Amino acid sequence: MPVSNDIRRIKSELRQGYKTKRADMSEKVKLEMDSEIQSRLLTLRQYMRCKILFTYVSKDIEVDTFALIRAAWANGKTVAVPRCVPQTREMEFYRIKSMDDLAPGAFGVYEPIPERCTLITDFSSGLCIVPGLSFDAEGYRLGYGKGYYDRFLSVFGGDTVGLCYSNCIKWTLPHGYYDRPVDLIVTDRYIRRTSK
């Protein structure tokens, strides 16, 4: 079996396992872990110095970012969230000023409403919050398999942080040539600088 197919199969199995683990998490435990992660993130030097925060809008099984978005607005930061470009594997980031700027989009994820928001085209700085079902010690992530974030991270020039529950961290994950590691991982138990 070719290596690329083997990696795809392994990633698919891991994805299903982590989705199940997260879905089985009680609401109380998830709220506590989300709160710990946010508290750690807000203390990061990279967060405090950034003017623009690029962040995903969380789904039910992901580390919550709604509270983070509100905190960033309260801290006077510009917040930009992604929109999947139809018929491509590309993302665009738009500045949002209110939760009313969001509507359900691709894959059931809340996305910015382009007509109400400002398109961001400068990716030379800022802080990007990266979603992942799992991360490893080197900062490689297990995403949903579509490749949107790896494409974006290949052109992003700022700092990158992966948010993940500590029970979903692995020492090492299979990764390919186009996979992009993050600079830092923030969990409910610790902050880890990667070997990137």
Half-sphere exposure of 172 (CA within 13 A, CB side): 4
* Distant-in-sequence, close-in-space partners of 74: CB < 8 Å, separation ≥ 6: none
| CB of 130 closer than 8 Å to CB of 141 | yes
Q: What is the 3-state secondary structure (H, E, C) of 66-86?
A: HHHHHHHHHCCCEEEEEEECC
Select from 86, 26, 14, 92 the least CA-distant residue to 60.
26
Residue 62's alpha-carbon distances to 31, 125, 132, 156, 166, in angstroms, are: 11, 25, 8, 22, 13
How far the first Cα of the chain sits from its last, in Å, is: 30
Read off the pLDDT band of 2 (50, 70, 90).
very low
- Tokens in use for 36? 């710990």
By residue range, what is the domain housing residue 84? 3-193
Predicted pLDDT at 139: 95
Task: Report pTM.
Answer: 0.92
Half-sphere exposure of 42 (CA within 13 A, CB side): 17
Report pLDDT digits (tens) over 52-108: 999 999 999 999 999 999 999 999 999 999 998 888 888 999 999 999 999 998 778
What is the arithmetic mean of pLDDT over 34-52? 97
Q: Give the integer Cα–Cα distance in Å for 63 and 31.
A: 9
Q: What are phi and psi of 95, to 5 degrees?
A: -75, 130
Read off the pLDDT band of 5 (50, 70, 90).
low
Q: Domain containing 112 — which CATH number? A: 3.40.50.10420
Q: Based on the structure, what is the number of domains in the chain?
A: 1
Read off the pLDDT band of 3 (50, 70, 90).
very low
- Tokens in use for 171? 């020492």
At residue 1, does pLDDT exceed 60? no
